[in-house]
């Protein structure tokens, strides 16, 4: 950026080192980080978990937790040193000069105060207004972040608003005092792609119109590529590369940056392309031919309706209104999965995809409709009794959050052994141990990790434990519920490849539930797009993604952040398919 030469940077961080005191002595989380943000510039910090990107921003805000401290280095904001500023100075600056948006908007808002009052608090704290004017200003701030009916929303509590709306309120709070620098720490992680697009565009428009600088912290290279002027890539507490966005994508200098760009799914043509070059595996063995004539799973007119909230009296009061009707989370959907096929089930949160997979897995009873697995009707056995069914071993699932799906008190070996004990009825400790080790080898989990507890394993290792547990009984149908949503991109690349290899090896069928169309493109033969409990589009993956018929699919596709500079290779095979 040439402007940098003329303007002194708004924020400059020099040789920053941050240490955390832990049980095993001090751990350096950030080492000698240098970065500068010019006025009006948007800088992205990209890195995987543990890279120190959030810690750097916390150090700038001086909100490191008690164990962390700035060991050396300087932080200057508009010529003013922050690294040794006292708490009173910092609390004046926070919110007025530097604001922050956090990852989980719901957690960042006070649940028992209306959103309007929370905006007022900030305004009054920084003497931007008095009590008489506060309400009008707060409503103005809400209108500013494009919340409709702002005067009514002023009285809303955070739980009454959707995730995207909450994030808008957080942005309104952050921008209420017109700060010079906005730090956005993973502002859209956990939001749907269409919401993500709306929120990011809002941030971009508002910061541009006010000439603010933005520091965007994200794990998503695509997001940073689309919205940032310059990108800093961090790995293990160090800055490995700092470049203009275009140059970073066109000519990445550092091998880590190249690896990161590789593992971002949009650029890849096949699933193997995600892996770093030196780790390239042989192409997966040719998948067994999908026999479409014999469906493994057949779902017909499946419905799940939830009773409206409230007790009997409340329902009586609401009689006749639409709120009194049962909510149909899944509204009569039909699809089938052939043996050896992998089908993607795509949709945004609340579209009913998780409810569908829970019903197919027999974790949840359906309201009506039929689920036939290998010709056997599954809905006749209630979900609560399905654990004794002989079909239990054929239907298994890999859960979304690898951490939450492992019992915190059980070692990896105990978690993997659970289905062996309960379903296979294995009783001999040595035999179980041998089978557990065999499974660990199949999913690429080092044997010495088997005796660790979940919190002692990394995200990728936990994902492998979850996969090993799911394939322990050699199921025919495996539901993958966003298996990589909680993982870093490089780990996601490895896990996706593992899943593809396992499928080829054991001839399993996959139902891949995801919100990420790019991942579905790489792994699935067919894709089903769901919205509000119904299927809006269904077809071969290449066809749906390249020539979507439904408006909603088009909207989903266009919302995926896609930096212009990132070479995209999906068109090529599609043209072949069409020809």
Partner 1 sequence: MTDATLTSQLTAGSRPSAFARNLAHFRYVMTSNPVTFLAFVLCAGMILVALFGPMLVPHDPLATLSDKALKPPSWDHWFGTDQLGRDVFSRVVVATRLDLLISVSAVAISFVCGAAMGACAGYWGGWFDKLSGRFLDTIMAFPLFVLAMGIVAAAGNTIQNIVIATAIINLPFYARVARAEVSIRRNAGYVQAARLSGNSELRILMFKILPNTLPPMMVQLSLNMGWAILNAAGLSFIGLGVRPPTAEWGIMVAEGANYIISGEWWLALFPGAALMLAVFTFNLLGDGLRDLVDPQRRT
Q: Is the dihedral of CA 205, 208, 213, 218 positive or negative?
A: positive
Q: Which of 124, 290, 381, 453 binds partner 1 (CB under 8 A)?
A: 453
Residue 557: CB atoms within 10 A of its CB come to 17
Q: Is 343 in the site for partner 1 (CB under 8 A)?
A: no
Q: Which residue has the tokens 């596709």?
A: 557
The least CB distance from residue 155 to partner 1, in Å, is 29
The least CB distance from residue 398 to partner 1, in Å, is 9
Q: Which of 244, 273, 298, 418 binds partner 1 (CB under 8 A)?
A: 418
Q: Which of 204, 315, 393, 562 binds partner 1 (CB under 8 A)?
A: 393
Q: Which stretch binds partner 1 (CB under 8 A): 114-122, 327-335, 371-379, 466-474?
A: 466-474
Q: 432 or 536, CB closer to partner 1? A: 432
Q: 361 or 535, CB closer to partner 1? A: 361
Q: Which stretch binds partner 1 (CB under 8 A): 150-158, 405-413, 487-495, 505-513?
A: 405-413
**Is the distance from CB of 228 to CB of 237 less than 8 angstroms?**
no
Q: Is 576 in the site for partner 1 (CB under 8 A)?
A: no
The least CB distance from residue 359 to partner 1, in Å, is 13
Q: Is 429 in the site for partner 1 (CB under 8 A)?
A: yes
**Is the distance from CB of 413 to CB of 494 less than 8 angstroms?**
no
Radius of gyration, CA atoms only, the chain: 26
Both tokens of residue 466?
């979850």
Q: Is 450 in the site for partner 1 (CB under 8 A)?
A: yes
Helix (H, G, I), strand (E, B) or coil at 236: coil
Contacts 24+ apart (CB under 8 A), 413-419: 413/450, 413/451, 415/454, 415/465, 415/469, 416/440, 416/450, 416/465, 416/468, 416/469, 416/472, 418/469, 419/393, 419/469, 419/472, 419/473
Using alpha carbons, select from 263, 252, 174 the residue that is nearest to residue 216: 174
Q: Which of 289, 384, 576, 579 binds partner 1 (CB under 8 A)?
A: 384
Total residues at interface with partner 1 (CB under 8 A):
44
* Count of residues in the chain: 579
Q: Which residue has the tokens 């709070």?
A: 173
Residue 388: CB atoms within 10 A of its CB come to 9
Q: Is 363 in the site for partner 1 (CB under 8 A)?
A: yes
Both tokens of residue 77?
């904001």
Both tokens of residue 91?
């609390």
Q: Is 361 in the site for partner 1 (CB under 8 A)?
A: yes
d(CA 488, CA 481) in angstroms, rounded, equals 16
Q: Is 407 in the site for partner 1 (CB under 8 A)?
A: yes
Q: Is 470 in the site for partner 1 (CB under 8 A)?
A: yes
Q: Is 66 in the site for partner 1 (CB under 8 A)?
A: no
Q: Is 6 in the site for partner 1 (CB under 8 A)?
A: no
Residues engaged in binding partner 1 (CB under 8 A): 23-24, 361, 363, 384, 387-388, 392-393, 395-397, 399-401, 404-409, 411, 413-415, 417-419, 421-423, 427, 429-430, 432-433, 450-451, 453, 455-456, 466, 469-470
């Amino acid at each position: 950026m040439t402007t940098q030469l003329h303007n002194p940077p708004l924020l400059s961080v020099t040789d920053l080192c941050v240490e955390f005191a832990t049980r095993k002595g001090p751990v350096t989380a950030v080492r000698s980080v240098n970065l500068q943000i010019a006025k009006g510039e948007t800088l992205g910090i990209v890195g995987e978990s543990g890279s120190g990107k959030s810690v750097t921003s916390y150090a700038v805000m001086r909100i490191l937790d008690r164990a962390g401290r700035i060991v050396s280095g300087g932080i200057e904001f508009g010529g003013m040193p922050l690294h040794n500023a006292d708490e009173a100075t910092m609390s004046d600056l926070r919110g007025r000069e530097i604001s922050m948006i956090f990852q989980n908007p719901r957690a960042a808002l006070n649940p028992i105060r209306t959103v309007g009052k929370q905006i007022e608090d900030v305004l009054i704290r920084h003497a931007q207004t008095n009590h008489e004017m506060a309400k009008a200003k707060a409503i103005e701030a809400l209108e500013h972040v494009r919340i409709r009916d702002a005067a009514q929303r002023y009285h809303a509590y955070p739980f009454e608003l959707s995730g995207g709306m909450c994030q808008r309120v957080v942005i309104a709070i952050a921008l209420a005092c017109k700060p010079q620098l906005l730090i956005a720490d993973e502002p859209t992680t956990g939001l749907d792609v269409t919401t993500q697009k709306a929120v990011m565009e809002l941030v971009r428009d508002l910061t541009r119109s006010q000439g603010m600088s933005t520091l965007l912290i994200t794990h998503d290279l695509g997001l940073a590529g689309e919205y940032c002027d310059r990108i800093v890539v961090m790995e293990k507490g160090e800055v490995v590369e700092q470049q203009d966005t275009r140059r970073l994508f066109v000519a990445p200098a550092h091998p880590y940056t190249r690896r990161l760009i590789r593992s971002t799914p949009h650029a890849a043509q096949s699933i193997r392309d995600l892996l770093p070059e030196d780790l390239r595996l042989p192409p997966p063995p040719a998948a067994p031919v999908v026999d479409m004539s014999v469906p493994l799973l057949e779902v017909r007119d499946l419905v799940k309706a939830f009773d409206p909230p409230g007790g009997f009296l409340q329902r009586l009061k609401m009689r006749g209104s639409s709120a009194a009707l049962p909510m149909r989370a899944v509204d009569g959907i039909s699809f089938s999965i052939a043996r050896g096929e992998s089908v993607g089930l795509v949709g945004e949160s609340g579209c009913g995809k998780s409810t569908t997979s829970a019903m197919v897995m027999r974790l949840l009873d359906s309201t009506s409709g039929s689920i036939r697995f290998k010709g056997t009707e599954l809905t006749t056995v209630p979900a609560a009794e399905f654990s004794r069914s002989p079909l239990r071993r054929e239907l298994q699932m890999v859960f979304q959050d690898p951490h939450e799906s492992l019992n915190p008190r059980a070692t990896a070996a105990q978690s993997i052994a659970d289905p062996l004990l309960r379903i296979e009825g294995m009783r001999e400790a040595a035999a179980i141990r041998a089978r557990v080790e065999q499974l660990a080898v199949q999913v690429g989990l080092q044997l010495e990790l088997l005796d660790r507890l979940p919190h002692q394993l990394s995200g990728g290792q936990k994902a492998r434990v979850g996969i090993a547990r799911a394939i322990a009984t050699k199921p025919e149908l495996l539901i993958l519920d966003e298996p990589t949503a909680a993982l870093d991109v490089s780990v996601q690349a490895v896990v996706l490849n593992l899943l593809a290899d396992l499928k080829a090896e054991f001839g399993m069928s996959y139902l891949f539930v995801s919100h990420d169309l790019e991942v579905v493109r790489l792994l699935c033969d067919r894709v089903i797009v769901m919205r509000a409990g119904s299927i809006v589009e269904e077809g071969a993956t290449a066809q749906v993604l390249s020539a979507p018929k439904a408006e909603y699919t088009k909207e989903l596709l266009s919302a995926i952040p896609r930096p212009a500079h990132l070479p995209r290779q999906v068109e090529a095979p599609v043209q072949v398919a069409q020809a």
